[in-house]
Amino acid sequence: MIGFVNLFKPAGPTSTQFGARLRKIYPERGTLAVGHLGTLDPQAAGVLPIALGKATRLIPLIADRRKGYVCTLVLGRATDTGDAHGETLVERAVPSDIDARLEAALPAFVGAVAQVPPMFSARKSGGRRLYTLARAGQTVAREARTIRIYALTVLGRAGDTVRLRIACSEGTYVRTLCEDLAAACGTVGHMGALLRDASGPFVLSESWTLDEVERAPAEALVPPERVIPIPTVVLDGRRATDFRAGRLVPLAEAPAEKHVFVRDSARALVGVGETVGALLAPRKVFL
Catalytic residues: 41
Closest C-alpha to 51, from 1, 94, 11, 101: 1
Contact 228, 58 (CB under 8 A): yes
Q: Which residues pair with 158 in a beta bridge?
A: 161
Cα–Cα distance measured from residue 286 to residue 97, given in angstroms and rounded to the nearest whole number: 60
DSSP 158-182: ETTEEEEEEEE-TT--HHHHHHHHH
DSSP 34-99: EEESS---TT-EEEEEEEEEGGGGGGGG-----EEEEEEEEETEEESSSBTTSPEEEE-PPPTTHH
Contact 138, 130 (CB under 8 A): no
**Distance (Å) of CA 118 to CA 83, 132, 175, 178:** 11, 12, 8, 12
How many other CB atoms are found less than 10 A from the CB of residue 258? 11
Contacts (Cβ under 8 Å, ≥6 apart) of 46: 8, 9, 40, 69, 194, 195, 196, 197, 204, 207
Q: What is the chain's alpha carbon radius of gyration, rounded to the nearest angstrom?
A: 23
Closest C-alpha to 185, from 86, 76, 79, 72: 76
